[in-house]
Amino acid sequence: MVEERFGTIAVKKGVVTKEQVLEAMKIQMERDLDGLEHRLIGSILYSMGYVTLPQIDEVVEAVKTCEE
């Protein structure tokens, strides 16, 4: 089965927009390039107020289902 990433599934489920995921990915990449602690996209989206903890759980469960 094809693996789908958190951001892709979150957009497909209507939890966030593509633009919000791209914004979070930019932050993630900038942090990585600056040598700062790596943060997951879901964590970044949460800190930006774009998703709630229950929404993160919902997307994580969907990711797990795709990986099976």
Per-residue pLDDT tens, the chain, 68 aa: give them: 445 799 999 999 999 999 999 999 999 999 999 999 999 999 999 999 999 999 999 999 998 888 76
Domain span holding position 25: 6-67
What pTM was computed for the model? 0.88
Examine residue 15 and state whether it is found in any structural domain, yes or no: yes
Q: Domain for residue 29, yes or no? A: yes
1 within domain boundaries:
no
In a domain, 10, yes or no: yes
| Number of domain units in the chain | 1
CA 47 vs CA 2, 4, 27, 52: distances in Å: 29, 22, 11, 9
